[in-house]
Structure 1
Amino acid sequence: MPEVMFAGPDGRLEGRYHHSSEPNAPLALVLHPHPLHGGTMNNRITYAMYRSFEKMGFSVMRYNSRGVGRSQGRYDGGIGEISDAAAALDWMQMVNPNAGGLWIAGYSFGAFVGMQLLMRRPEITGWISVAPPANHYDFGFLAPCPCGGLMIAGEADELVPEPAIRKLVDKLNTQKGVSVDYRIFAGADHVFANHADQVAEALEDHVSTIMARGALALAAD
């Protein structure tokens, strides 16, 4: 799990990167929760998603956004953090010019940043959003959302109530060609204290299903 430092828009950014042994492996970028509330790349859910992608043969990165850990700069209200995510993606694509697909996975604030990045980078082929803060941020920018993905909510989430996420899912599912795989974890609060394994399993199930479907479609062509 080598440590990497790469150029961000506001200074150097610190990350952890796993390079797959598979040729032209797909890429995954994992985004951490809010930096002003203790969010770092070592967050338990962020780490669980990172390890899931690693296990599935992806080249995967998690990183600290500006002002977190050894990453330079300071918190920028979300705007700069989206630029940081784009810089992380640029670095991975430079190292993996022939990658077979690209996934974005974010938790809480990281889910908001990830969905913003989704709208800016058409090469993204899938996404995972865990507890997206649908009651704190306007997700109206997802119009039209370029592809479907997996959304996870905690049934007992005190910071982002499940109905707020359900409303976002329902809105996305009305869009043409978009299907959101929505999963609610009973008893889970916002930190998913006892549900890291469940998040990892849901991610692996969703990603493997979508990739198998894509492989079948290619074979049919």
Structure 2
Amino acid sequence: MAEVIFNGAAGRIEGRYHQNAREDAPIALILHPNPQFGGTMNNKVVYALYRTFVDLGFSTLRINFRGVGRSEGTFDNGEGELNDAATALDWLQTVNPTSSKCFISGFSFGAWIAMQLLMRRPELDGFISVAPPADRYDFSFLAPCPVPGLILQGAKDDIVPFGYVAKMADKLQQQRGIRIDYTQIADADHFFSGKLPEMCQIIEGYVKQRLAIRSVA
């Protein structure tokens, strides 16, 4: 894992990056929760996502949004953070010009940013959306969702009521031609306290299945 710094619209963006040895290794970008509530790229859920993708053979990047850690700028209510994510994806693709697949993942606020970026970047092959804050942000832009993905939430999420996420997932699952998986983890809170290994196991199984399906197709 290496520290990386690259330029964004608000100044430098700080990240942590793992480069897989394979030139055609898939790539993944991981986005963190709301910095106004202490969210950083070192959040335990974000780090668990990062390690899962690394262990699956991805060249993987996680970043601090503007104003967090060594990233320059100030919080921009999502618009600037979306720009940061797009810049990070540009950097990741430049470093890995022959990557085979491209995934994006985010936790809470980071899931909202990730899903917006998904709509703007047709080269993305899939997503992992963890505890998307469907109670406080509008996800209606996912009409339709362009690629398959996995939505995960704790059944005892005390920050994002699971009913909002279930409703969002149900709407996405009704569209034809794109499969959206939705999984609730029993007894898990918003931060998956004591449940991170189970969360990672579900994600690992999902991504392995997706890669196998895509490689055969």
**TM-score normalized with structure 1 length:** 0.97
In the alignment, is residue 181 of structure 1 matched against residue 181 of structure 2?
Answer: yes
Contact 1:154 1:188 in 2 (8 A): yes
1:100 alignment partner in structure 2: 100
Counterpart of 2:151, as a letter, is: M
Counterpart of 1:119, as a letter, is: M
In the alignment, is residue 24 of structure 1 matched against residue 16 of structure 2?
Answer: no
1:78 alignment partner in structure 2: 78
Give the CA deviation at 1:131.
0.3
1:214 alignment partner in structure 2: 214
In structure 2, stretches of 5+ residues that fail to align are none
Contact 1:147 1:177 in 2 (8 A): no
In the alignment, is residue 38 of structure 1 matched against residue 38 of structure 2?
Answer: yes
Q: What's the C-alpha RMSD, in Å, of the aligned pairs?
A: 0.7
1:5 alignment partner in structure 2: 5
Greater Cα shift, 151-160 or 121-130 = 151-160
SS of equivalent to 2:20:
coil
Contact 1:45 1:199 in 2 (8 A): no
Tell me the distance in 1 between the aligned counterparts of 2:4 and 2:23.
21
Say how many residue pairs are matched.
Answer: 217
1:158-193 per-residue CA deviation (whole Å, 9 max, x = no partner) reads 111111111001100111212111110111111111
Contact 2:26 2:58 in 1 (8 A): yes
Structure-to-structure mapping, 1:89-128, within 5 angstroms: 89-128=89-128
The percentage of counterpart residues that share the same residue type is: 52
1:140 alignment partner in structure 2: 140
Counterpart of 1:96, as a letter, is: N
Contact 2:23 2:96 in 1 (8 A): no
In the alignment, is residue 50 of structure 1 matched against residue 35 of structure 2?
Answer: no
Tell me the distance in 2 between the aligned counterparts of 1:130 and 1:80.
21
Counterpart of 1:24, as a letter, is: D
SS of equivalent to 2:90:
helix
Give the CA deviation at 1:120.
0.4
Tell me the distance in 2 between the aligned counterparts of 1:158 and 1:45.
15
Give the CA deviation at 1:37.
0.5
Give the CA deviation at 1:148.
1.4
Counterpart of 1:53, as a letter, is: F
In structure 1, stretches of 5+ residues that fail to align are none
1:202 alignment partner in structure 2: 202
2:192 alignment partner in structure 1: 192
Tell me the distance in 1 between the aligned counterparts of 2:125 and 2:197.
24
1:59 alignment partner in structure 2: 59
Contact 2:7 2:13 in 1 (8 A): yes
Tell me the distance in 1 between the aligned counterparts of 2:9 and 2:100.
27
Contact 2:125 2:147 in 1 (8 A): yes
Contact 1:32 1:109 in 2 (8 A): yes
